[in-house]
Amino acid sequence: MEPELIRLHSGALTLLSFIFGVVFGSFLNVIIARLPKKLENQWRRESLDYLQLSDTDIAEEEMGISYPKSHCPNCKTILKWWQNIPLISFFLLRGRCSTCKKEISLLYPIIEFFAGLITILSTTKFGLSSTTIYALIFSYSLLALIAIDAGHKILPDIITIPLLWMGLFVNSQDHFTNLHSAVLGALLGYLFLWTVFQMFRLVTGKHGLGYGDFKLLAAIGAWLGWQLLPITLVLSSLTALITGFIALSFKLMKKEDPIPFGAFISAVGLILLYAEPGDAFFGLVFGEIINKNN
């Protein structure tokens, strides 16, 4: 095949990958916006049922992933088709609702852009293969978890648990690591944070981590193998500490405010999928050291 044709095919694949990712990112935004509210309503309903009380507000606020239609969260106006074009509509509307003029959250275009970027990385690294499909499932899930944990301080079981089991299934076919490494990764990932949680609770009498963090690290171990758990923990802990320090310095948070550690674990897991130590991405920084050691 001629070099020009190869470049044309590569360019077309990159463009199509970005478009697909941006469109799917729009769907991720729906999950990020609606799933926490849906879970909150479910917990409220269960609590009220237990107490034998009623709350009409839950029925009025009830929503699913596919209903009601996309609307402004402030004035509830249903969006027209041209107001709901992934990434583009945000700029067409100049970041504001056309009806109530309320600012549209920057989270929407950010998620769509990164979903597009992630899709390009997947097709570039893994080609058009089943591995790419699995990589995108893992990546999109982590992207949603980053946003949900950062915004609501929860890691929904409906995402983390299926992600864990799917990681084991995927690696039974040796896509990202072997099954033995995946099983160990899931076990060690959960047990390590569970042990830290119990020790912290015994010493301080407080809960320093949530059970969602255990399940999330187990899922990452199932996908990437136990070998990448240490660097996942080190990098996520460092970035969480640095971010917390900066936020406290600029009074963006209080000392008693919890840090969404799951968001940092997810971000590092996402990076490691595409930039394993020794790969070209990390090689830009550590390339000379690696070459010398070799």
SS3 131: helix
Residue 87 has a pLDDT of 94
Residue 121 has a pLDDT of 95
Q: What is the number of other CB atoms lying within 10 angstroms of the CB of residue 18?
A: 19
Q: What are phi and psi of 172, to 5 degrees?
A: -70, -15
Query: What is d(CA 203, CA 267) in angstroms, rounded to the nearest whole number?
Result: 29
SS3 202: helix
Residue 58 has a pLDDT of 53
Low-confidence ranges of the chain (pLDDT < 50): 1-8, 59-60, 278, 280-294
Residue 54 has a pLDDT of 67
Query: What is d(CA 181, CA 178) in angstroms, rounded to the nearest whole number?
Result: 5
Taking the domains of the chain in order of start, what are their residue ranges?
A: 1-128, 154-294
Q: What is the number of other CB atoms lying within 10 angstroms of the CB of residue 210?
A: 19
pTM of the model: 0.88
